[in-house]
Amino acid sequence: MPKDAIVFVDEAYAEFSGVSLIPELERLPNVVVGRTFSKAFGLAGLRIGAITGHPDALEPIRLAVPVYSVNIAAVVAVQAALQDLAYMEQYKAEVEESKTRLYAACDRLGLRYWKSAANFVLVNAGERAERLAHGAAARGIYVRNRSKEPGREGCLRVGAGVVAHTERCIDVFEEVLCGAE
């Protein structure tokens, strides 16, 4: 670990993975951990998060952040989210169920995938990726086509959140790939 640098660890998906470096920060004075309220808390549009670390590591960051860098709507939303952790736990359970259903659908459809510790699954549709992405979009389902990124040829990033939404995505994948109506 570099001693003369601040190391930033992005824990955007920590609520889903259950893994965090935060308990180790006391022995890692040059590490700063960033968390977002976008993923598990569902506050993506508000662009709010938090960083934690040793005060010496946080001081240079504090000097660079504007005084009013967070709007009041975001502050109120975070306070409400933190008082309703049961919602986040319920959403995490739906994400796990959605991933399980998505994995099974990929197995049925002959699509490779990587098991995920986040709220999405990377699916390799190979040469069918473009057709699948466009066909899904035409039916109101949006997946991120990652095919043009190095090492991700043929890959789609498929969100796995609310079970009903995942079921609709699976139905659309079956329509596009199997010609079902």
pTM of the model: 0.86
Q: Write the DSSP string, 4-50.
A: SSPEEEE-TTHHHH---SGGGGGG-TTEEEEEESSSTT--GGG--EE
Reading across the β-sheet that carries 31-36, which strands appear in turn?
7-10, 31-36, 49-53
Give the list of residues 6+ apart from residue 65 with CB closer than 8 angstroms, or none.
Answer: none
What is the Cα–Cα distance from 113 to 121, expressed in whole angstroms? 7
Give residue-wise pLDDT tens across range 76-127. 999 999 999 999 999 999 999 999 999 999 999 999 999 999 999 999 999 9
Query: Would you mind telling me the total number of residues written for the chain in this entry?
Result: 181
- The tally of CA atoms less than 13 A away on the side-chain side of residue 117 is 9
Give residue-wise pLDDT tens across range 13-69. 999 999 999 999 999 999 999 999 999 999 988 989 999 999 989 998 888 888 888
Taking each helix axis as running N to C, give the angle between helix 163-178 and helix 129-138, from 0 to 180 degrees, rounded to the nearest 10.
120
Which domains does the chain carry? Answer: 7-83 (3.40.640.10), 86-178 (3.90.1150.10)
Amino acid at 129: A
